[in-house]
Structure 1
Amino acid sequence: MPSPFYQLRRFVTTSLISSLFISSIGFAATQEVREPEAATGFAEQKVAHGKKFMVAAANPHATKAGYNVLAKGGTAIDAAIAVQAMLTLVEPQSSGIGGGAFFLYWDNTAKQLYAIDGRETAPKKASPELFLDENGKAAPWIKAVVGGRSVGVPGVLAALEMSHEKWGRTPWSELFDDSIHLAANGFEVSPRLAKLVAMGFNPGLKQMPVASAYFYPNGEPLKAGSILKNTELSESLTLIASQGAKAFYQGEIAKQIVDSVQHAAIEPGVLSLADMKEYQAKIRQPLCQDYRQNIICGMPAPSSGGVTVLQTLALLEPYNLSQYQANQAQAVHLFSQASRLAFADRNHYVADPDFVEVPEKVLLSERYLTSRRSLISADKDMGKALPGDVINAAKDDAYERPSTSHISIVDQYGNAVSMTTSIEMAFGSTVMVGGFLLNNQLTDFALSPEKNGVPVLNRVEPNKRPRSSMSPVIVFGKDQQPSLIIGSPGGSRIINYVSQALIAHLDWQLPIQDAINLPNVTHRNDYLALEKGTALAKQKTWFEARGHKVQVRDLNSGIHAISIRYGVLQGAADPRREGIALGQ
């Protein structure tokens, strides 16, 4: 009988996954004046080494919570639960139990890869007109993202509990201890959290009474270094620890969530107790593809991350990128053109596969890729790329914001987790209940259900999951074992951040920390963005001479990764954020 990994490789060559069980349209430039994650700038390199286990996450408290679980013999899934619980407390702007997640899990014993879908779902009473105004036009973004209307059924806890039942070792009740204790006793507010609160990017934070009282005590924004307690979250996590996720989806917490959404001070929503009770996480088949003698695996739809990362890399496969120095202008140009084409397809063809046909197999087929590559010029920007002629679908107009978090974990048993988790916009919907913020992920649906009579695949529908750009990735090397666990926050730019880091590591052979530290470049079929204050930004005129529309701006990735080579684990954290990696 062929091994599971042989079957994986066989799929890669036929563009059909049959053996493994295996996230928007960016704002117009006028709406992208700043990113809410732009906070503290670059920090020191944060590389860590180990031979037993490793965890990399976006806040030191979260990383340490995961480390503590791993040090006591817990699995990667056990550690992910502890990390997510802690992020809910210390990084509330980016993720939490009020949101959703996508993650890949490598079961080293079974040599099997799983893709776990903990994405939020639309309430039963949601309709395609959810975000249209009285004139049938898409609502202004601020009216869409703030308040109860934008809240989907949170999925991350259900996904983690389902995974814990399969792959957990540490009792569920013990995985919340560190977070419960810190929430009750208080933690030191980080400079990044304080700055994001002070920026006031999400106006709902001041307008929603519960969130305002928490983040603006006595009417003043939280100060870096101050001690912040969250007794309500401590109580919520205590219930979840003792009763399981059922306490969240069916108990008192569920009632509080529904009441807070339906009676929100801004844009009340239609979330119901039945919606909460009936939520189910899903196991899907991951997307995998060869690249440079590696197999790269990512999330399938409803995340657009997997197919768009893989398509970007596949379009570049015939080019000898290793001949260029890291971030050499010619290589960046080629990358931008591949990204243009991949995003053109992504913006039309990716949605919830339980509701529409998502042509991932076609988009990754060599015949289709060959035709798309013919559009790439080595010395001139192609201009706005059109989607390939695959199926009849209109372009999406979702609002997708960059507040998210990524967690990478390898345990002592060789299991691995690559998990991207989000509440969408910074501080989500700003509806706060039980000590945590609720997501505004429904704005990841298209606001308009159709364009010129052509349906938008990612339109709102009851029980449907919105498209995402979350791009957790696991790379497998020649030894048929994970060699890289990686992902990033950043809204639709996640796809570029992850793709660029993969190229830097696999083509330019940079150590993973150096790959992450490279100046960022993004292109979402809109304009070429070069990271402000870097050597790459100084080449703006080179790109403009080749027809590129260029913006120099903050590009605040938050990549957390673990590379594995010769039995050594190297954990890396993005210096643009405040996370760390710890291992043993």
Structure 2
Amino acid sequence: MNHALMRRLTVLALTLALAGQACARGPAAPDLNPEAATASLQRDKVSSSKSMVVTAHPLATRAGLRMLDQGGSAVDAAIASQLVLGLVEPQSSGIGGGGFMLLFQPGKGLLSYDGRETVPAASTLNRFELNGKTMSFKQAVNSGRSVGVPGLLRALELMHRDGGALPWATLFVPAIELAEQGFAVTPRLHALIADNRAELADKPAARAYFLDAQGQPWPVGHRLRNPDYAQVLKRVAQQGADAFYDSELADDMVAAVAADPVPGDVSKADLRAYRALRRDPLCMDWQRWALCGMAPPSSGPLTVMQMLGMLQHTPMASLEPLSAQAIHYFAEVGRLAFADRDAWVADPAFVAVPQQALLAPDYLRARAALIRPDRSLGHALPGQPLDDAVPAADSTLELPSTTHLSVVDATGQVVSMTTSVESAFGSKIMVQGFLLNNQLTDFALSPRDEAGRLSVNRVQPGKRPRSSMAPMIVMEQGKPVIALGSPGGSAIILYVAQALTGMLMWDLDAQQAVSLPHYGSRNWATELEANTAVTEQAQALRALGHEVREQPFPSGTHVIRWTAQGLEAGVDPRREGLALGR
């Protein structure tokens, strides 16, 4: 039996054992990962011959497949799925938020779309000060100050213009039907409403929708209808995104943000001026593949590429996936990459991001040389990719409430799309059936670092906050071989890097890769997924100098991989997702 096959069988056996451990030990902490109570780490691989849709909710996946069955493209399926996700998974994404999309079209190549939110024009440097002091994250996150100008609909409309096959209005039909007829509250949605009940109750519109007359979360199975959202979708379906950005609906959004107890400053002019952007994807040659993804202001793909680029200078490929040494090397490259991310990456319209220098082979080799096999770095410092640049790091938080979907159609068109309203239920400010984001808390709350230098990721009017969203497509000889991404705040980077390591270095299939117990470092403690087999390595890691933290890791990594037999999907078992293909 060859080594690669032995490793695959070992990981499969561990994965099956982990499912039993998770059930035996009970669910992870509900504030971070309520779906753990109903999910295990066991999933069967899904295969198909020519098309595939993978999303975080069965209703969204079925909406996407419905578009493909009607002759739609991957773009059409992705848009229809996303509109449903905004209804059935409102804690994660929606038209009041933003996102990033990567599109491959045979004969045309790769395009990417930036639908990230922007800072209102009236904003000041001290946006997150209150009574002369920097607001706490909790104060900022559920306030009008956190709301950025939403970008999702403009980006979807732009992507449809480039790659859609069905009429725009057709894509809205599944979401409109579900909003009018209602959908069943799932265990995950119920748990998240319960966990955020106090904050939702503070916002009148959100309270009326998510809680019953006694102020309790709707029970699992309750049929939740959203006629307001249906009406908004009908207008956008007929009039395009202008019905959102330049309309009475825009007036309502402005008024809702201004009426918050800690008011924001989104204006009608901000909404009218918003533009989604086509950007050149960021790509890096790595072994026989090209790793491609969204460029800044997303730090996700860049940081993932740095991690993979450093890992190839370690013995990672020969290590067992759940061994202490594998965790050690993965955590160490994470420290180094996150140190660079925090210091150098922000909106490229405001900051000169040295992305090519950060990905240069000699630079990554030098960074990898800092890793010791027998001792952790502890806390890594940023590198110096350019001789005359001065880093200014920040400690921006990103909370794990986002969603990812991957779609391939029969013509070979591919979409990898990650979208978000930021933390669970965004700002909690609800307007006509949808939630507004709190993405501006992805900026540094304090504009200066500890040395008094201005952070590269500080608030500035018109700026797009740094993100960790990492929609990616791996290419080989000009053709896609993997499409993937994940939710999870800044841990998105770890999830995507781990899945790619599993598939490209350890020859795991897509489902095995996304089912691996999580581990890594974001340049603080080495984090191990609670209630899984990797926690057995805690003592060995501490002996190497790691500060170890066991915690929930609420990923939602969704993968499509090309094989000799066709397509295979990896559906993250930590969520309620579904893969369907033809």
TM-score range, shorter chain: over 0.9
Q: Give SS of 2:36's match.
A: coil
Q: Give SS of 2:124's match.
A: coil
Q: Quick one: structure 1 residues 397 and 33, their matched pair in 2 at CA, closer, same or farther if it must change by over 3 Å?
A: farther
1:96-129 Cα offsets, whole Å, 9 max, x none, are: 011000111001132x111110000010001111
Counterpart of 2:106? 108
Please report the RMSD computed on the Cα atoms of aligned residues, expressed in angstroms: 1.4
Whether the 8 Å contact between 1:53 and 1:583 is mirrored in structure 2 is: yes
**2:392 maps to amino acid:** A
**1:236 maps to amino acid:** V
Counterpart of 1:468? 467
**1:334 maps to amino acid:** Y
Give, in angstroms, the shift of residue 46 of structure 1: 4.9
2:268 corresponds to 1:239: no
Q: 2: distance between equivalents of 1:356 and 1:66?
A: 37
Give, in angstroms, the shift of residue 365 of structure 1: 1.1
Task: Select which of 295, 303, 307 maps to 1:300.
Answer: 295
Q: 2: distance between equivalents of 1:428 and 1:533?
A: 28
Give, in angstroms, the shift of residue 534 of structure 1: 1.0
1:412-455 Cα offsets, whole Å, 9 max, x none, are: 11010110100000000000001010000000011111123311
1:46-67 Cα offsets, whole Å, 9 max, x none, are: 5322112101000000000001
Q: Quick one: structure 1 residues 341 and 35, their matched pair in 2 at CA, closer, same or farther if it must change by over 3 Å?
A: farther
Task: Select which of 275, 279, 282 maps to 1:284.
Answer: 279
Counterpart of 2:79? 81
Q: 2: distance between equivalents of 1:105 and 1:290?
A: 19
Counterpart of 1:259? 255
2:145 corresponds to 1:146: no
Give, in angstroms, the shift of residue 33 of structure 1: 7.6
Counterpart of 2:16? none
Task: Select which of 18, 29, 36 maps to 1:40.
Answer: 36
2:343 corresponds to 1:345: no
Counterpart of 2:8? none
2:497 corresponds to 1:502: no
2:189 corresponds to 1:193: yes
Task: Select which of 543, 550, 553 maps to 1:552.
Answer: 550
Whether the 8 Å contact between 1:37 and 1:402 is mirrored in structure 2 is: no
Task: Select which of 150, 153, 157 maps to 1:161.
Answer: 157
Once structures 1 and 2 are overlaid, which stretch shifts more, 391-400 or 85-94?
A: 391-400
Give, in angstroms, the shift of residue 322 of structure 1: 2.4
**2:239 maps to amino acid:** Q
1:40-99 Cα offsets, whole Å, 9 max, x none, are: 343451532211210100000000000100111111111111011000110000000110
Q: 2: distance between equivalents of 1:525 and 1:328?
A: 20
Give, in angstroms, the shift of residue 572 of structure 1: 2.0
Counterpart of 2:9? none
Once structures 1 and 2 are overlaid, which stretch shifts more, 141-150 or 455-464?
A: 141-150
Task: Select which of 407, 410, 414 maps to 1:409.
Answer: 407
1:198-209 matched pairs, under 5 angstroms = 198-200=194-196, 203-209=198-204
Give, in angstroms, the shift of residue 333 of structure 1: 0.7
Q: Give SS of 1:522's match.
A: strand
Whether the 8 Å contact between 1:430 and 1:438 is mirrored in structure 2 is: yes
Q: Give SS of 1:514's match.
A: helix
Whether the 8 Å contact between 2:406 and 2:560 is mirrored in structure 1 is: yes
1:151-550 matched pairs, under 5 angstroms = 151-200=147-196, 203-218=198-213, 219-264=215-260, 266-389=261-384, 390=386, 391-451=389-449, 452-477=451-476, 479-550=477-548
1:118-168 Cα offsets, whole Å, 9 max, x none, are: 000010001111002222x32111110112111001111100101111111
Once structures 1 and 2 are overlaid, which stretch shifts more, 479-488 or 38-47?
A: 38-47
Q: Give SS of 1:297's match.
A: strand
**2:170 maps to amino acid:** E
Whether the 8 Å contact between 2:515 and 2:572 is mirrored in structure 1 is: yes
Q: 2: distance between equivalents of 1:53 and 1:552?
A: 38
Q: 1: distance between equivalents of 2:579 and 2:287?
A: 27
Q: Give SS of 1:492's match.
A: helix
Q: 2: distance between equivalents of 1:302 and 1:159?
A: 15
Whether the 8 Å contact between 2:339 and 2:381 is mirrored in structure 1 is: yes
Q: 1: distance between equivalents of 2:439 and 2:217?
A: 25
Q: 2: distance between equivalents of 1:298 and 1:140?
A: 32
Q: 1: distance between equivalents of 2:397 and 2:365?
A: 31
Give, in angstroms, the shift of residue 468 of structure 1: 0.3
Counterpart of 1:134? 131
Whether the 8 Å contact between 2:245 and 2:271 is mirrored in structure 1 is: yes
Whether the 8 Å contact between 2:29 and 2:552 is mirrored in structure 1 is: no
Whether the 8 Å contact between 1:397 and 1:448 is mirrored in structure 2 is: no
Q: 1: distance between equivalents of 2:184 and 2:30?
A: 26
Whether the 8 Å contact between 1:423 and 1:439 is mirrored in structure 2 is: yes
Whether the 8 Å contact between 2:292 and 2:474 is mirrored in structure 1 is: yes
**1:131 maps to amino acid:** F
Whether the 8 Å contact between 2:105 and 2:414 is mirrored in structure 1 is: yes
Counterpart of 2:17? none
Q: 2: distance between equivalents of 1:235 and 1:568?
A: 40
Q: Give SS of 2:517's match.
A: coil
Q: Give SS of 1:241's match.
A: helix
Identity %: 46
Q: Give SS of 1:325's match.
A: coil
**1:119 maps to amino acid:** R
TM-score (norm 1): 0.92
Q: 2: distance between equivalents of 1:353 and 1:533?
A: 40
Whether the 8 Å contact between 2:313 and 2:368 is mirrored in structure 1 is: no
**2:424 maps to amino acid:** A
Give, in angstroms, the shift of residue 34 of structure 1: 6.4
Give, in angstroms, the shift of residue 193 of structure 1: 0.2
Q: Quick one: structure 1 residues 46 and 433, their matched pair in 2 at CA, closer, same or farther if it must change by over 3 Å?
A: farther
Task: Select which of 49, 55, 58 maps to 1:57.
Answer: 55
**2:502 maps to amino acid:** A
TM-score (norm 2): 0.92
Q: Give SS of 2:424's match.
A: coil
Whether the 8 Å contact between 1:405 and 1:558 is mirrored in structure 2 is: yes
Whether the 8 Å contact between 1:147 and 1:204 is mirrored in structure 2 is: no
Give, in angstroms, the shift of residue 399 of structure 1: 2.8
Task: Select which of 114, 119, 131 maps to 1:117.
Answer: 114
Q: 2: distance between equivalents of 1:461 and 1:539?
A: 44
Whether the 8 Å contact between 2:528 and 2:534 is mirrored in structure 1 is: yes
**1:418 maps to amino acid:** S
Give, in angstroms, the shift of residue 398 of structure 1: 2.1
Give, in angstroms, the shift of residue 37 of structure 1: 3.8
Whether the 8 Å contact between 1:94 and 1:422 is mirrored in structure 2 is: yes
Q: Quick one: structure 1 residues 102 and 566, their matched pair in 2 at CA, closer, same or farther if it must change by over 3 Å?
A: same
The alignment covers a number of residue pairs equal to: 548
Structure 2 runs not aligned, ≥5 long: 1-27
Q: 2: distance between equivalents of 1:199 and 1:349?
A: 35
Q: Give SS of 2:127's match.
A: coil
Q: Give SS of 1:525's match.
A: coil
Q: 2: distance between equivalents of 1:441 and 1:46?
A: 35
